[in-house]
A and B are shown apart, each in its own frame.
Chain A
């Protein structure tokens, strides 16, 4: 488990490096645009000095618009796992709403029914959860691209119940031999938990308004209503718990973007940027 975690971490850090790179690519971008217009403009007016071309560039720059709207979808991992894993039934709906150029209000709602079969315990967790928060898109799109490489946070809340199916008694003394698992069936109702997540994700437009994306999540419990004489070893939406209130998660989503309105990207922004470099 430790190794898996380690690899997730390193993957995540690798991922965070991409952010830095994505940001740096900002600078050369206007340059490329310039060359594009330089190529097209002279085709119309052949005898124009280079200085004036650059000036007109800022004036006739194509009006860039950002689309704002609602993106709705589903977590494919939970959906597919429900088919191949007989101990798992789960569904997660995801959605986000573009609040500003860079910020998205994001939420996920889901339901899970999972039977965990550990070496010494077997229990079933059933419950629903909601996660609400925001995503910050750190990726500077070219032209009309709408890809997202984001980092964000969520507040998660889950309400669930646990049923202890069977367990083993730990006894270092084997004089009476290995004792078969004790069948319990004890149900623990009305359990709740809440947590904070840090989310790193990306979404790519595959065609029209359809996006594919994935996200990695690092969770930390804030509240956890534990059952009496048992423990919340699995929390819907949070996943497996570890000793230090810590958890990880991920999802793999397909979403559909419902455009609601468009906003022009202020040309002033571009003027500002050009003198920089």
Chain B
């Protein structure tokens, strides 16, 4: 009798679930990118699509890839921030490579200032980095080295904390 109880105990122990924890699940929220949404400056409640926008980080040759392309067409983009620094500068080039006189390339430079925090996720995923944009000067907008006027009319921070990609962190009106 005692033995059957013990055996049952072992059974309950052994079936108590061994979950796979060696591979980091793709659905796990890890280091998030800065989500930017573009709006129409003249009608601020309407999202506006950018055309052939390329975003290149300082010191990089290639632009960031979003949805499999370095040329961004659409009203949202997610930008990776450097986890090893507290500032990352990007060149936002609109109409990249265009020779059409009606839509010539225009470059604006934005430097993001933030603090990082490394947060434990799991054995398989290790840590992730959460960013918090500087509350006083979250970003600095400047014109290109060869001035071509600013194409972004207004930049606003929606969320200072960057811990997931489900929400917009930055709004750009043009």
* A interface with B by C-beta (< 8 Å): 1-2, 5, 9, 12, 16, 19, 23, 118-121, 136, 138, 151, 153, 167-173, 175-176, 179, 182, 198, 200, 218, 220, 229-231, 233, 242-244, 246
- Give, as a whole number of angstroms, the nearest-CB distance from B77 to chain A: 12
* B interface with A by C-beta (< 8 Å): 2-3, 6-7, 9-10, 13-14, 16-22, 24, 26, 28, 30-31, 33, 57, 60, 64-65, 80, 82-84, 118-129
User: B14 — nearest CB in chain A belongs to which residue?
Assistant: A9
The distance in angstroms between the C-alpha atoms of A119 and B16, with both chains bound, is: 26
Counting chain A CB atoms within 10 Å of each CB, the highest count among B24, B60, B65, B123 belongs to B123
In the complex the two chains form, is A12's CB within 8 Å of B14's CB?
Answer: yes
- 8 Å CB contact of A170 from B16, B20, B31, B57: B31
User: B123 — nearest CB in chain A belongs to which residue?
Assistant: A233
Q: List, in ascending order, chain A residues with CB within 8 A of B30's CB.
A: 170-172
Q: List, in ascending order, chain B residues with CB within 8 A of A244's CB.
A: 16-19
A-B residue pairs in contact (CB < 8 Å), sample of 19: A1-B20, A5-B18, A120-B24, A167-B126, A168-B126, A169-B31, A169-B118, A169-B127, A170-B30, A170-B125, A172-B26, A175-B80, A179-B83, A198-B6, A220-B16, A231-B122, A243-B21, A246-B16, A246-B18
A198 and B13 contact, Cβ closer than 8 Å, known pairs A16-B7, A176-B57, A229-B119: yes
Q: List, in ascending order, chain B residues with CB within 8 A of A229's CB.
A: 119-120
- Give, as a whole number of angstroms, the nearest-CB distance from A125 to chain B: 13
The distance in angstroms between the C-alpha atoms of A244 and B17, with both chains bound, is: 6
In the complex the two chains form, is A218's CB within 8 Å of B10's CB?
Answer: yes
A173 and B18 contact, Cβ closer than 8 Å, known pairs A168-B127, A182-B118, A231-B120: no
